[in-house]
Structure 1
């Protein structure tokens, strides 16, 4: 899973598993692993929402309890934070799911 989080091949850890943002390379360029056999389509967005929600919601509540800012401050803070965290965490989480599938031998 750690190799997947680093967006590397789960078998050799050398080659990138993504050709673009979250587009999976069909095979590893280094060891030839068929990465396309590991389907990670639905789970990564759910896990990403789970993680981002556990970061953003407590932060939002703490900001509200301690400083009582206007609604526009919340919008200006948390909407970009949510978008950036989601975009930043989706590839490593998708890589971790592919790594977990490889470790558990869960080919589709």
Structure 2
């Protein structure tokens, strides 16, 4: 494999994942990746990179549950043992926090996962640049 071929196949992973986190195109970083809350565009309107073949599937939902659960469970234990609030107050605060954090993370993790797939040339992203 020549140096030119190796450079053409190399894509930076972390910038692509960060662009996906921002819900931007992992290739150019300026075009929108999503057309709705979770609907992925068929292609970037700026650089024409195709996205229709991504395979995020249940990954973003799984990661959202993983992150929110690992963050909220210790906070719930800490709040309960430290302040001993009324159960309804505790439930209300943590229900709102859990739903809010989940709604915030889900589209960002989906974008990050698509950015990771693009950078690693997974699925249909394996065509040469």
Per-residue displacement from partner, 1:65-99 (whole Å, max 9, x unpaired)?
10111210111111111111000110110000000
Residue of structure 1 aligned with 2:54, choices 9, 21, 38:
38
Residue of structure 1 aligned with 2:74, choices 45, 55, 58:
58
Give RMSD over aligned pairs.
Answer: 0.9
Q: Does 1:20 align with 2:23?
A: no
Kindly report which structure 2 residues correspond to 1:1-108, keeping only aligned pairs within 5 A, or say none: 1-108=17-124
Unaligned runs of 5+ in 1: none
What count of residue pairs does the alignment treat as equivalent? 108
Which of the two has higher C-alpha Rg? 2
TM-score computed with the length of structure 2 as normaliser: 0.81
